[in-house]
Amino acid sequence: MLIIVLDPGHGGSDPGAINGKHYEKAFNLTIATETARYLNDNYSAAVHFTRIADTTMGLYERAGYANELNADYFVSLHINAGGGTGFESYIHTSAGSTTHKYRDILHNRIADFYRSKGFPDRGKKSANFAVLRETGMSAVLLENLFIDNGSDLSFLLKSSFLKQLGTAIGDGIARALQLKTKTPGSGTIPARMPATALTGRARQLLKSRNPAAPDYIDIYVKMGEIYRIRWDAVFAQSCKETAFWRFGGDVRPQQNNFAGLGAFNGKEGASFATPEEGIEAQFQHWHAYYHGGKLPPGRPSLDPRRNAVLSTGWAGALNFVEDLGGRWAPAQDYGVSIVRDYMAKFMDEVIPGPIPTPPPVPTPPEPSPAPDSPANGGGWNPEAEIDRLKKDGLIVNDHAPDAPVTWGEFAAVINRLRDRLTSGDSNDNPTSPGNQPPDKENSGNKENSGEEYPAKTEEKELLQNGDFSQNSQGWEINDTYIQTEANGNKYGVSNYTWRFRQDFPVNPGWKIIFNGRTRNGGSPNAARVVIGFINYSGTLKVVSDIRHTHQGNGWESFPRQELTVPSHAVKGRVFLLTNGGTGVHHFDDISIKKL
């Protein structure tokens, strides 16, 4: 895919040419944005900006950025001044034949557009401008009308005109580089673009979903400018990953980790000293996917997972927010969800694209056939090997042999295999020797009846210390929440808190059953047990909210619940709590078993 760098001239402390309250730098950024929008909507190309906001950037820094990307074409966008009207273009005085060819095609397309509006073509020119001299690829500088000419300025102030101009420039670039038409089904929201969301609407959404949420939006805006990534997309991802800063997954609020960095397969993820550091680390992870290479000058390295991305084929390879599916998280609709379920809530113009199809990866060389292997027919048969994994429950969904595998998916398969080895459940078959129950569970039943044991359904306990005999062991709570009755029986005590919880191992498709007891400890509300499952990206989805209203003062049983572990799950989580309000409930004999 060809790399195009659009350079909106000036910016920040350098306004460029000025006419009253109108600054060249603002027009340049708008024209670049419209050009990028046209290219992203219609062609397959990696479009980069030297700046996506009103930031200061030196001429050598702009050229250096394009050189670092190893870009194929550099287009610097400007507005003229000093008396005159119309359009002109520049290439370097020592430009080669390819640069001349590109410029001729691009210039002619733009000049035709200007002539249709009544503006003259001022010609194809050359100059020793720094951005033309210092760039290592074909480069052109476009001077679009004169800001100090009243007639020219009146056109520049029309958004419809700037959109048409962006289309003309984009079409000229596409013709010059012979760009390929955009692949159907590609994304719709480019990540390397100026953000189009209003900060006020983002704040409104956040407060409507969580009035207690902290306001870090200004940090997102700041980091977006530094890393050339649209802040509204990164903020939307944080809303998804933290449930609008309510958390509840593996990551705790005090970790300042708002993207689940490093939080997979039960790990709590990375921690950062401040919210700003956590957000900057998140932008650095996006930067690895959408820019690759070095961090912006002077920025500290904060993302612990950045090198993992740079070592894969995805570094700098992504274009659209939707492309994050199957990369940042295993779910193919992960990026689509960021756009559809979050960005669209505070941005009217957002329409998410379809779920992207995983791109092909190089086909590995075929290994030598295993001699007389009954498992694969004695040859290399990847489809059969995948079927075996699916049949044995180590993977759930169908997978093409050439589909990419993420670390999250790889870790899930390895840990499912480890769980079976450590539990003796080597093939998930109740007849396996490691699955036989203790003799006391069999005595006087199937063993003595002459029937074979497999007719009995085994139940395997998944929770630790559900009777609290070992105090808080296994539970994410301290011993002050464990009390003892006069008869020595221990039990858990919980109020309206989501901190009394325990994770438990699962495999997709397992049938599990919940049982437990509760006693009223002074709460006017129902006792609750909430069960959910966590996916590869650390997102918790609640599937059962079990409530019991007490009829008396003694121990009473919760209603029995049977659940099927969903395909996305890598682990389960159970919470013990009251249904709001004051007071507490007592809990005992909490059990989740695999049938």
Per the annotation, the verdict on 562 as an active-site residue is: no
Collect all residues with Cβ–Cβ distance below 8 Å to 508 and sequence separation of at least 6: 393, 396, 565, 566, 567, 568, 569
Instruction: Name the helix (H) or strand (E) containing 587.
Output: strand 585-594
Distance CA 525, CA 347 (A): 40
Take residue 321 and report the two structure tokens written for it: 């927010």
Q: Which of 570, 551, 405 is nearest to 503 (CA)?
A: 570
Q: How far is CA 89 from CA 195, 248, 289, 405, in A?
A: 29, 56, 33, 47
- Per DSSP bridges, beta strands 18-19 and 22-23 are antiparallel
Radius of gyration for the chain, computed over Cα atoms and rounded to the nearest angstrom: 31
From the list 143, 225, 280, 322, the catalytic residue is 143
Determine contact, residues 170/95, Cβ cutoff 8 Å: no
H-assigned helices in 294-333:
306-310
Amino acid (1-letter code) at residue 445: N
Take residue 75 and report the two structure tokens written for it: 């287009």
Take residue 143 and report the two structure tokens written for it: 């001077």
Collect all residues with Cβ–Cβ distance below 8 Å to 58 and sequence separation of at least 6: none
For the range 346-352, what are the long-range contacts, defined as Cβ-Cβ under 8 Å and sequence gap of 24 or more? 346/197, 346/198, 346/201, 346/202, 346/204, 346/205, 346/232, 347/196, 347/197, 347/201, 347/232, 349/196, 350/189, 351/188, 352/188, 352/189, 352/322
Quickly tell me which residue has 């020793």 as its tokens: 128
Q: Which residues are known catalytic residues? A: 143
